[in-house]
Amino acid sequence: MKPFLNYRNSYYLKTRVKNPNILAGEFSYYCGYHHGERFEDQVWLLDEAPMGEDGDKLIIGKFCVIGSGAIFLMGGNQGHRRDWISGYPIEILEGGYDVNKSKAPKGYQQKGDTVIGNDVWIGAEAMIMPGVKIGNGAVITTRAVVIEDVPPYAIVRGNPAKKVEMRFTDSEIKKLEEIAWWDWPIEKVRKNISLLRSGDIEKLASLEK
């Protein structure tokens, strides 16, 4: 897999991402032309958030397109507890900005993995909040703020993001989920590019018979 695509410094995530908490599928790419090129700079993590096996992960499926400036907020509750009297990170009064020196309990609470399905399109400057699950084939429009799970093949927009329409009918979505074309061998995908660029789901399904 080549690291760059032939369009405005777009690149496949798997070829560039080093953070062990970011897992990207084959052929998913980021186009960061207008906001700098580093996708990892768009994944916001709290300093006190655990890394590795103990930390929340950003899991991105195959064949996803992520627009310039899209943000993935991975800091759990961002250290601010709503059930405490003060939402201020008051432990910094003990340890300065090094919260690990404080004896006060940490405000940070994990939200769980953020999971982006396969063939998802995320528009420029969209924001995905911690722990959100986005289904296969969904479309997140420009500057949408996604605070809750998104069904497969839904189109969402706004702040907070709301479903405005479904790309296909329930029965068609069920077929697409069963077909899972993103799991085909890449040779089969290339052979059927024209079909994948159409709306002929019945013909696509016939390839599985």
Please give the positions annotated as active site.
80
Longest pairwise C-alpha distance within the chain: 66
Angle (CA) 96 99 105, round 5°: 125
Q: How far apart are CA 34 and CA 116, in angstroms?
A: 22
Would strands 58-60 and 114-116 be described as parallel, antiparallel, or unpaired? parallel
Please enumerate in sequence order all residues whose Cβ is within 8 A of that of 57, keeping only pairs 6 or more positions apart, or say none.
21, 22, 23, 113, 114
Q: How far apart are CA 73 and CA 82, in angstroms?
A: 18
Angle (CA) 198 193 63, round 5°: 95
Please give the DSSP secondary-structure letter assigned to residue 29.
E
- Helical segments of the chain, H only: 92-95, 170-179, 186-191, 193-196, 201-206
The tokens for 57 are 């992960």
